[in-house]
Amino acid sequence: MRVCSPLCRNLVRNYLSGTIPVEWASMPYITSITLSANNLSGPLPTWLQNFKNLKILGIEGNQFSGTIPDELGNLTNLTKLHLASNKFIGRLPVTLARLVNLEEFWISDNNFNGTIPGYIGTWSRLQKLFLHASGLKGPLPEAVARLENLADLRISDTTGINFFPNISSKVIATLILRNVGLSGSVPSYIWNMSKLNRLDLSFNKLTGELQEVPKAPPHTYLTNNMLSGNVESASVYLHSKSVIDLSYNNFSWSSSCRDKRLLPCAGPTNCSKYQRSLHINCGGGNVQIKNLLR
């Protein structure tokens, strides 16, 4: 247990159960409550609105349930609101539009319903928006895509984001739009985002060729789309420190042993450097291997 000061309550990973102590309601001067990774349950108490100075509310990784109370919108000094990995349901209340000082909003792994609210686009200070498997559906409001301080956007396992959003942020470092229903081509501006380190567009319906890509982020995941093109000509993918996943697409590539960083033994080549690798094609007829050397 860590009590960081009279102004904060940090009880991360303490195997706590039950509900948030009602006795805390008499301490309205608290500025930070962090209860992550416990086994707390029940609805969020409405008396949390008494903490007018609260800047951080972190309750991810518990068993909280029910709807988000309207009163949470009265905590207008909040900079971090972490509600992920609980059992919340219902729509996000419109009163949350008042939380204009938010820098981090995490609601992944819940059972919310409705669409991604447009008022998130009024949170001009927002830097991290996590909506993995939140239950919310698209589209992504244009105002959210235009947030200029957004550095980390993560949305997955939903529907309704059928078209690629026109993201304006110049500081975005992580962009995850995984399994959200995207179709069409990857817009060219994505490859010109100088700060982008992680790009995950996997499990969508993206099409088009990627041969003219000037630069790919160091961590790029495009698996399970319908992308095409000659990968060999796109040397952008061949960087020793990159992690690139292009599997389950329609790419073509003729391998050579000089290309040691991306599927080095793919294609019709005798690549002796990797003689201990065994690749098995599970389709077609039976294959008999003789004189197998260990």
SS3 at position 276 = coil
Residue 292 lies in a domain: no
> Which residues, listed in sequence order, are joined to residue 250 by a DSSP beta bridge?
228
**CA atoms within 13 Å, Cβ hemisphere of 138:** 23
Query: Looking up tokens 């995850």, which residue turns up?
Result: 176
In a domain? residue 83: yes
Residues in contact with 70: Cβ distance below 8 Å, sequence separation at least 6, in sequence order: 93, 95
Residue 94 structural domain? 2-274
The closest alpha carbon to 180, from 196, 160, 195, belongs to 160
- pLDDT tens, residue order, the chain (294 aa): 344 445 677 888 888 999 999 998 888 899 999 999 999 999 999 999 999 999 999 999 999 999 999 999 999 999 999 999 999 999 999 999 999 999 999 999 999 999 999 999 999 999 999 999 999 999 999 999 999 999 999 999 999 999 999 999 999 999 999 999 999 999 989 999 999 999 999 999 999 988 667 778 999 999 999 999 877 655 555 555 788 898 999 988 765 545 445 554 444 444 444 444 455 555 555 555 555 544
- The number of domains in the chain is 1
Q: What CA–CA distance (Å, rounded) separates 184 from 207?
A: 5
Say how far apart CA 46 and CA 243 lie, in whole Å.
45
Asked if residue 282 belongs to a domain, the reply is: no
pLDDT of residue 280: 53
Residue 288 lies in a domain: no
CATH code of the domain containing 35: 3.80.10.10
pLDDT at 256: 54
Q: 281 in a domain, yes or no?
A: no
pLDDT number for residue 239: 55
Does residue 293 lie in a domain region?
Answer: no
DSSP 197-222: -EEE--SSEEEEE-TT-S---SEEE-
pLDDT at 266: 47
Residue 265 pLDDT: 44
- Which of 242, 240, 216 minimizes the C-alpha distance to 229? 216
287 found inside a domain:
no
CA–CA separation, 19 vs 161, rounded Å? 36
**Domain-embedded: residue 64:** yes
What pairing do the DSSP bridges indicate for beta strands 2-5 and 8-10? antiparallel
pLDDT score at 284: 54
Residues 198-222 as b or e (16 or more Cβ within 10 Å = b): bbbbbbbebeeebeebeebbebbbb
